[in-house]
A and B are shown apart, each in its own frame.
Chain A
Amino acid sequence: MMGGTLLIGAALLSGLTATVLLITNYLRREKRYLNAVTPLIGVTAGLLSLALAYLTYQFVTTDYANAYVWNNTANYISIFYRITGVYAANQGSILLWAALTAIVAFWAVVVRGLEHRETRLVQGITMGVVTYFAAMLVLDSPFKPISAEFPEMDPGFVPIDGTGLNPLLIDPYMAIHPPIMFVAYALLTMPFAIAVAHFISTVRGEGGLFDEWIGSVTRWLRIAWLFLTAAIVLGSLWSYRVLGWGGIWAWDPVEVAVLIPWLFLTATLHAVMNYRSRSTYATLAPAMTGATLALIVYATAIVRSGVFRSVHSFADGGIGAALLVLLTITSILGIGLPLGYWLLREPESASETSSPSRRWITHVNLKHLAVLSIGLLGFISVWGLTFPVLNTYATGVEVAVGGQYYNLWSYPIVLGVLLVLGFYMDYDVEGRRRALLSLGIFSLLTVLAALVAPSETWTLSNVDSSDALLYRLVGNASALSILPPAAYVCLTVIKRTLEFVPGNPNRNFQLKQVGITMIHIAFALLVVTVTFSYLFTAQSSLVVADADREATIEGSAVHEVPESNYAVQVADYRSYQRPEEPNVENMALSSEQIASRGQEIHETRQPVYGTATQINAGPDATVIQLDNSGVWLGVMNASQTELGISEGDQVVGVGTVMWDFLPELPQSDGVVVTEAANVGPVSNPPAALDQTRVEGTAVGLTVYQNGEQIARGNAGQEQYLQQGGMEVRDVLVDRGLTHDTYVIAAVDDGTVSLTVKQIPLMTVMRFSVAALLVGMLFVIVFDPAHGLARLWPRVTRQQNVTETTSD
């Protein structure tokens, strides 16, 4: 049982040793026991992976001797969701994070070795993070024995069934979202370590190491961006299907908390690509790189610690404090150190004197603007998330920051980002005068479009005169204003691609530019589709009173959905429960199991089943021998005829196990004492044995639009009885080229309340997201300067990339 914790403890030991060796070797400029470090890191990664595999094994085999397993799964849950139960709560997900980080560290040390002195510092910091996680896990282990949950039970007690998995997590998207997220988090540990090492080295007057590591930093950041984006996309797809989350995005604190590192990572990527030692971004690029992990930890602390009241506090308590400590450490190293260096040590105005040109419009300044704008977007989110907490502590008054705050503040900045992006892409290939002219034209178009709202739906928000000036100004603007900047970006990006790509002899450069094009066009389309799909979601509803009866009729009535061009027909109506066919053997103990557990279950209530081999009826009770064993079922105040059980029947009952209960019956070792209501044949078990976990109702629907059938499928709800009756909706989504049809059904006793939503542009949005991911993949692989294609299979150091390859 303690095996898992021992594995983690061993990992803590080897991780700590590796960290201490690395740091002392760096500080003392020596190589003592350095050969041991790589194996030590490998052992740490191996042990953590082994612990993770062991935990997964316990989940798959439903080993409820582990309290964490008992808390996060149940017998009826399929193998797939048993595995996802591993990271359903805090300890398991920290273990996943730790194992992934350790693997990343091991990979890095194998590829790079430890020859260079700074490498030891970088690895020391990475292993420090791993060690911290391991320490957290030793203190709050995912391998706690079940006795922690049931201190009153005798040692060795193991429950028959678990409590189940959070119903929100029983979803294919949610199953893969967390591991991808943690891969991104783990990958970001490396750039964090490199950035912190850079500042430590700079402060110590050793010149920093960012110049040398820029390629490595870029690759880690890009791959992490790819995973983080994929994770957010999966999360959005999930919230799209789970009702009550307001579509793909709801500005829930947890969503904001993930958006912050994403925005910041995006800004960091732009800053890092323009990093030049001793001139542009000499401090800012490494500083932003370092801060990203601090923001990740900040986001995790929010999700896990319960500081914020979120719609989905997946897990709370305990681990919060440890994460807050980690947040403090990463903030000091990732934000405090660079900030302190910038304020106290950086040579003043070195960057200004180095650029002799006094012109305002330069590539460098445009990139400044891009980094600043994306950073500002991130800041709006940080502030929206932090302000309520600060306000609560400062004044005791709770203020909720709603979606409107984020939408209305972010919108003008997004427009600005698009215009700057378009201008940059234009300026890259056209002259200054022509680029300025088209910027002027598109800015003017944007302002004009903001004034044209064909109907109320087009305005961004419903604001009233008591709102702040900016809210009124932005809120009354027309969503049409998103189109000119987005078209501007598409236009200039396409033009630049046509200019750069055809005829270029370097195949990798061409492919990278295609990637860049895909990313930026996808971004513009994403902004447009998100805006319009929100504003133009049409919704109407319908109640079908006798859905259960209609379902039985062939060719039953087709109901028009009022105020829409939809119609629906009820084709099926069913109630079901899970587990579907409760197997008595999974829910009750055999007489043999009762006997083997012996005194540990004395005077506890247990379910038992077996074949009735002998029945003795007394005046006050009927006793039934099970399977010719010493275990009997004693039914108080019931005669054999009342029970309707005869010898040879398979019986099952729930009662209190009493050893040496009937001394006058020598063949009985113990009796399970119960009453008539709690005993029955196996074919019809008593209600006390009812182990129904999920009660679902679903209707089969055929959906018509303009008279044509567009979709068939199920919609309904499932109630999780043992999770406080929590309800999860199952929706019917028809993905169409121009719009999705989204049907929610609330089923209650034959009556079905249907809500039919028409959500436009979802397919374009899906396409954009795919383009975003594929585009980044192209950049990661084919970048002539830092791409994997060029790099593989050996590591080369790349310095002073030529200007034309930047974007």
Chain B
Amino acid sequence: MKKTVLGFVVLVSLLIVPATATAASVSGTVTVDGGSADGETVTIAPLDPSNELVGNETETTVENGSFSYETVEGAITYFVELEHEGTTHYALVDDGEQPDFVLNDTISGELVDENGTPISNATITVTSQHGPEVTQTNTTDGSFTIGPVQPDRVYTLDIEANGATYERAVSTGDDAANTTFELSTPTTDRDALTLSGGQPVNHLLNVGPTQNGTGLFVVETVSVENGADRPFAGDVSVAVPSDAEVVTGMVGDERTSVSQTNGTATVETMIGPQETTTVNVYYRLEDRAFEKPVGYDVEQLAIRFADYDMSQVEVSDNLVEADAPMPMVTSTGPLEADDQISVSITESNQSVASDQTDGSSGASEFPLGLVSAGFVAVIAIGLAAYRYV
């Protein structure tokens, strides 16, 4: 009797194991030159063919120089992350392969300026060839050592010094030890900058309505090239309408703060030698009209309109409607920095669509009447059946 019951309980327990449990195990190793990674954390992210995470990341620890994890159904690669003494290392392994971390190399060197003088106070951020950060270190005297790191890899060093950022790549096992990095002192000379590049033009305004619809929201973009042989680190300014309320700015992909004085919005910018970056200034206007100086000598300037059509738009004479798939105006020819441009938007006769649907998950309507009638009928018929059958 007891054995039967116990056996039954065991059987039920085994049966009810959630169906996720079957998985194979993979083990990897960690070798540290002159040390050990035991007790340190390894994070495993299973990825599907489009590099999306499958399920959750898992964590495990290194024991006796090795670690293991379960494979996940649907994952074809595993992004494995090892944290060791403040540095992080990465391995991308295919399903079925074994991740092995070898930490036996170092990156070291000295930072000097163009005269060979060591650079004090620099921050060096090391990123792996897979993209994520490996470690960050500071140097006060220009010399630095990073390691242990993995051999035969390309590491990128982002060096912040002199108010500029320098990017250098090193390959371990090759030129990684005792390298001298010459970092030329940045220039603050605005003359080094010219407008260049940018899509579709190197000076562009995007004009649209504000959230409440009564004013204008403008994103002004200038594409700036640093023609000098050294980085540029200094202010770049954009002429904005005098009544503009500047919201924020962006340099490249990074948000930055903007200072605003008398129709000029100034953004602190860093541009590498011979490189181009975009400077964006976002501002809001109370009214649906503005006038402003161009601010730069420019070959061509364009203004693009979102949510307005060309019949609503009036512009100054130096601008003309462009042949483009969206509402847009361009300058009639090159403009000078002092030239004025103006835009005004009139109320459209057709109202802007204010209702938007973002989909709905419809379940079919519940046939309450039918179901309850059926339910009650079954009970009633049942009661009758018991009585008369």
Which listed residue (A401, A467, A537, A546) contacts B363, Cβ 8 A? A537
Q: Which residues of A contact B356 (CB under 8 A)?
A: 543, 545
In the bound complex, CA of A284 to CA of B213 (Å):
72
Q: State how many angstroms separate the Cβ of B80 from the closest Cβ of chain A.
A: 14
Which listed residue (B68, B73, B364, B378) contacts A455, Cβ 8 A? B364
Q: Is the CB of A471 within 8 A of B360?
A: no
Which listed residue (A409, A430, A495, A532) contacts B16, Cβ 8 A? A409
Q: State how many angstroms separate the Cβ of B219 from the closest Cβ of chain A.
A: 18
**A19-27, A101-109, A164-172, A392-400: which lies at the interface:** A392-400
Q: Does A563 contact B (CB under 8 A)?
A: yes
Q: Is the CB of B13 within 8 A of A398?
A: no
Which listed residue (B2, B12, B70, B365) contacts A538, Cβ 8 A? B365
CB-contacts of B207-236 with A (<8 A): 211-213
Q: Is the CB of A457 within 8 A of B363?
A: yes
Q: Is the CB of A468 within 8 A of B19?
A: yes
Q: Is the CB of A349 within 8 A of B16?
A: no
Q: Does B274 contact A (CB under 8 A)?
A: no
Q: Is the CB of A563 within 8 A of B69?
A: no
Q: Is the CB of B379 within 8 A of A487?
A: yes
Which listed residue (B20, B212, B363) contacts A548, Cβ 8 A? B212
Q: Is the CB of A391 within 8 A of B21?
A: yes
Q: State how many angstroms separate the Cβ of B209 from the closest Cβ of chain A.
A: 10
Given A538-B362, A539-B361, A544-B355, A484 and B19 contact (CB-CB distance below 8 Å): no
In the bound complex, CA of A328 to CA of B355 (Å):
59
In the bound complex, CA of A343 to CA of B371 (Å):
50
Q: Does A383 contact B (CB under 8 A)?
A: yes
Q: Which residues of B contact A348 (CB under 8 A)?
A: 1-2
Q: Does B60 contact A (CB under 8 A)?
A: yes
Q: Does A405 contact B (CB under 8 A)?
A: yes
Q: Which residues of A contact B200 (CB under 8 A)?
A: none
User: Which residue from chain A places its CB closest to the CB of B211 in the assembled complex?
Assistant: A749
Q: State how many angstroms separate the Cβ of A595 from the closest Cβ of chain B.
A: 42
Interface residues on A, range: 35 or more
Q: Is the CB of B58 within 8 A of A349?
A: no
Task: Scan A390-419; emit 1 where CB is below 8 A from any B CB, else 0.
Answer: 010001111111000100010000000000
User: Which residue from chain A places its CB closest to the CB of B71 in the assembled complex?
Assistant: A397
Q: Is the CB of B362 within 8 A of A563?
A: yes
Q: Is the CB of A387 within 8 A of B362?
A: no
Q: Which residues of A contact B73 (CB under 8 A)?
A: 466
Which listed residue (A456, A563, A738) contacts B360, Cβ 8 A? A563
Q: Does B368 contact A (CB under 8 A)?
A: yes
Q: Is the CB of A760 within 8 A of B69?
A: no
Q: Does B383 contact A (CB under 8 A)?
A: yes
User: Which residue from chain A places its CB closest to the CB of B13 in the assembled complex?
Assistant: A383
In the bound complex, CA of A327 to CA of B280 (Å):
61
Q: Which residues of B contact A467 (CB under 8 A)?
A: 19
* Size of interface on B: residues with Cβ below 8 Å to A: 47
Q: Does A245 contact B (CB under 8 A)?
A: no
Q: Is the CB of A564 within 8 A of B382?
A: no
Which listed residue (B12, B25, B68, B212) contacts A546, Cβ 8 A? B212
Q: Does A788 contact B (CB under 8 A)?
A: no
Q: Which residues of A contact B13 (CB under 8 A)?
A: 383
Q: Is the CB of A398 within 8 A of B56?
A: yes
CB-contacts of B11-33 with A (<8 A): 12-13, 16-21, 23, 25
Task: Scan A478-500; emit 1 where CB is below 8 A from any B CB, else 0.
Answer: 00000110111011001100000
Q: Is the CB of B366 within 8 A of A541?
A: no
CB-contacts of A358-391 with B (<8 A): 376, 379-380, 383-384, 387, 391
Q: Is the CB of B69 within 8 A of A396?
A: yes
Q: Does B375 contact A (CB under 8 A)?
A: yes
User: Which residue from chain A places its CB closest to the CB of B356 in the assembled complex?
Assistant: A543
Q: Is the CB of B56 within 8 A of A400?
A: yes
CB-contacts of A706-765 with B (<8 A): 738-739, 749-751, 753, 760-761
In the bound complex, CA of A484 to CA of B58 (Å):
45
Which listed residue (A379, A391, A455, A546) contacts B354, Cβ 8 A? A546
Q: State how many angstroms separate the Cβ of B190 from the closest Cβ of chain A.
A: 33
Which listed residue (B1, B213, B358, B371) contacts A352, Cβ 8 A? B1
Most A CB within 10 A of own CB, among B23, B212, B352, B386 = B386
In the bound complex, CA of A637 to CA of B85 (Å):
48
Which listed residue (A342, A405, A536, A548) contacts B366, Cβ 8 A? A536
Q: Is the CB of B357 within 8 A of A438?
A: no
Q: Is the CB of B368 within 8 A of A761?
A: yes
Which listed residue (A380, A397, A409, A541) contacts B70, Cβ 8 A? A397
Q: Is the CB of B58 within 8 A of A398?
A: yes
Q: Does B59 contact A (CB under 8 A)?
A: yes
Q: Which residues of A contact B212 (CB under 8 A)?
A: 546, 548-549, 749-750
Given A405-B18, A535-B363, A537-B363, A484 and B355 contact (CB-CB distance below 8 Å): no
Q: Does B359 contact A (CB under 8 A)?
A: yes
Q: State how many angstroms separate the Cβ of B12 from the closest Cβ of chain A.
A: 7
Q: Is the CB of B357 within 8 A of A541?
A: yes
In the bound complex, CA of A563 to CA of B363 (Å):
10
Given A396-B58, A397-B58, A536-B363, A379 and B16 contact (CB-CB distance below 8 Å): yes
Q: Does A540 contact B (CB under 8 A)?
A: yes
Q: Which residues of B contact A739 (CB under 8 A)?
A: 366, 368
Which listed residue (A379, A383, A495, A544) contacts B386, Cβ 8 A? A495
Q: Which residues of B contact A544 (CB under 8 A)?
A: 354-355
Q: Is the CB of B382 within 8 A of A399?
A: no
In the bound complex, CA of A383 to CA of B13 (Å):
8
Q: Does B374 contact A (CB under 8 A)?
A: yes
User: Which residue from chain B places its CB closest to the CB of A352 in the assembled complex?
Assistant: B1
Q: Is the CB of A491 within 8 A of B2?
A: no
Q: Does A542 contact B (CB under 8 A)?
A: yes
User: Which residue from chain A places its CB closest to the CB of B20 in the assembled complex?
Assistant: A399
Q: Is the CB of B363 within 8 A of A543?
A: no
Most A CB within 10 A of own CB, among B21, B352, B354, B361 = B354
CB-contacts of A449-470 with B (<8 A): 455-457, 466-468, 470
User: Which residue from chain A places its CB closest to the CB of B379 in the assembled complex?
Assistant: A491
19 A-B pairs in the complex with CB atoms less than 8 angstroms apart: A342-B2, A343-B2, A396-B59, A399-B18, A468-B19, A471-B19, A483-B378, A484-B378, A487-B379, A490-B379, A491-B382, A494-B379, A528-B375, A532-B371, A540-B360, A543-B357, A548-B212, A562-B360, A751-B211
Name A residues whose Cβ lies closer than 8 Å to a Cβ of B.
342-343, 348-349, 352, 376, 379-380, 383-384, 387, 391, 395-401, 405, 409, 430, 434, 438, 455-457, 466-468, 470-471, 483-484, 486-488, 490-491, 494-495, 528, 532, 535-546, 548-549, 559-560, 562-564, 738-739, 749-751, 753, 760-761
Name B residues whose Cβ lies closer than 8 Å to a Cβ of A.
1-2, 12-13, 16-21, 23, 25, 56, 58-61, 68-70, 73, 211-213, 352, 354-366, 368, 371, 374-375, 378-379, 382-383, 386
